[in-house]
Amino acid sequence: MSLPSETDLRALAESAARACGVDLSAAAGEHVGLSPINGLPVASLAWSTPDQVAAAVARAATAYDEWRLVPAPVRGGVVRRFGELLREHLDDLATLVTIEVGKITSEARGEVQEMVDICDYAVGLSRQLFGRTMTSERPAHRLMETWHPLGVVGVISAFNFPVAVWSWNTAIALVCGDPVVWKPSEQAPLCALASAALLSRALDEAGFSPDISQVVLGDATVGLTMVDDPAVALVSATGSTRMGREVGPRVAARFGRSLLELGGNNAAIVAPSADLDLTTRGIVFAAAGTAGQRCTSMRRVIAHTSVVDAVTDRVAAAYAKLPIGSPLEPGTLVGPLVNERAHSSYAAAVSAAQESGGELVVGGERVLDAEAAGAYYVRPTVVRMKEQSEVVHTETFAPLLYVMAYDDLDEAIALNNAVPQGLSSSIFTQDQAEAELFMSAAGSDCGIVNVNIGTSGAEIGGAFGGEKETGGGRESGSDAWRAYMRRATNTVNYSGDLPLAQGVTFDV
């Protein structure tokens, strides 16, 4: 399978960006972006300076003063138009996702579809930003809560979902009355510019300021400039646990809010009653999809001793047949790792697992290296582990799956919960009692707990996020919108008297 040339990939990227309204010549600069598909340059863009970041935040703060007063359903109309533009340019954006981060076409299109879906969700939400009315202990009083726009939202997104995570935040933030300043992954600036251009068009058509949505490009320095700006009311950051340890305290030091979506080390328990055909399909997609570079990718399989051999054999057989190669080619199921650093981490983890007693079952090698010296394709890997050693406790962003055995369900749940991360988990079982226990307070300690599906593939209707070192944030559906608003508790006295709460008397 051949990989595209630099010229062909550049032309494809320029065409897709132009279709979305981005003139790459106007954004040109000295920072070269490499595609993981072939390891070659795609575009050269200008990064933002700290002063430009501060100016963008200041403009967003000014725009907030007007945007917060726009009725929420009207704000929802802008998001509805944005969703329509995303539908029109779904393939263009998906092409950029594939070029910049290496997702196969179906997964890239699925990511843009998530953007469309969250817009649909946010439009409905714009008429449902409900507060409660509570019973007052004082006669002729009404006690209630109201929700108001919060302020500027700063979004820091990771390479593995270069557009969807921004859209989760942005669609909700906009209907809540908040402008957004976005610092995308330096791996995917074209995706960001194209997405932002479509939203800018929706804002312009409705007569609103372009400062409601802005993009700043650059490395971690750019992100930290935004993190430290007191005008940013909420910082929503997706990335590594290491990144979260830096971002969280800095935002807290200035009494800002942070929404952190960090690492995952996700496991599936396979019970004796599991349907092994369904289980195998669920494991293979969750562990090898996106070349194992989702925060919800499956890293661990904890299988009962009665089925662990069969599960291992089935997954290994499926892995051996997975088509690996250019994500632009039809039929490819496993694309490249994002860069050399990702490959180094993967190779080090495979070695460490074997040194700690693990048995390499399948994979472990780089492929296509003779064809693309700067691109890193690896065969999805299964390592059979005797115990959950230190390497298993560490998230490796690659298609590396550890398989372990258990004897009873309490042991399996303990293994699931023993890692520092707490994002996603699943159990494959036909036993309802086992499924209910896994979902109970005595079960998985993760933010996402699934039954008879893998650990990845969350829908936008549910709140997305996890516990422990995953950061505790929640994005997307359910009541995640509350993170983007401020709550006020209101008491209205219509009695003509002044009774005090808790029976306090204070006569003057």
User: What is the spatial distance between Cα 169 and Cα 242, in angstroms, rounded to a whole number?
Assistant: 21
Torsion of CA 343, 344, 346, 348, to 10 degrees: 160
Q: Which two tokens stand for residue 435?
A: 């499924």
**Which residue type occupies 500?**
L
User: What is the spatial distance between Cα 353 and Cα 299, in angstroms, rounded to a whole number?
Assistant: 13
Phi, psi of 245 (to 5 degrees): -65, -25
Q: How many CB atoms lie within 10 A of CB 163?
A: 28
Catalytic residue among 100, 107, 111, 261: 261
User: What is the spatial distance between Cα 296 and Cα 402, in angstroms, rounded to a whole number?
Assistant: 15
Residue 278 to residues 13, 269, 378, 430, 493, Cα–Cα distance (Å) = 38, 13, 25, 11, 60
434 is catalytic: no
Q: Which two tokens stand for residue 458?
A: 């969350």
Residue 381: strand, helix, or coil: strand
- DSSP 8-state class, residue 495: S
CB-CB contact of 100 with 43 (8 Å) = no
- DSSP 8-state class, residue 104: -
- Residue of 353, 401, 357, 355 lying closest to 380 (CA atoms): 401
Q: Taking the CA of residue 143 as centre, how many other CA atoms within 13 Å lie in the half-sphere pointing to its CB?
A: 7
CB-CB contact of 152 with 123 (8 Å) = no
Partners of 362 in the beta sheet? 382
CB-CB contact of 402 with 390 (8 Å) = no
Among all residues, which ones are annotated catalytic?
Answer: 261
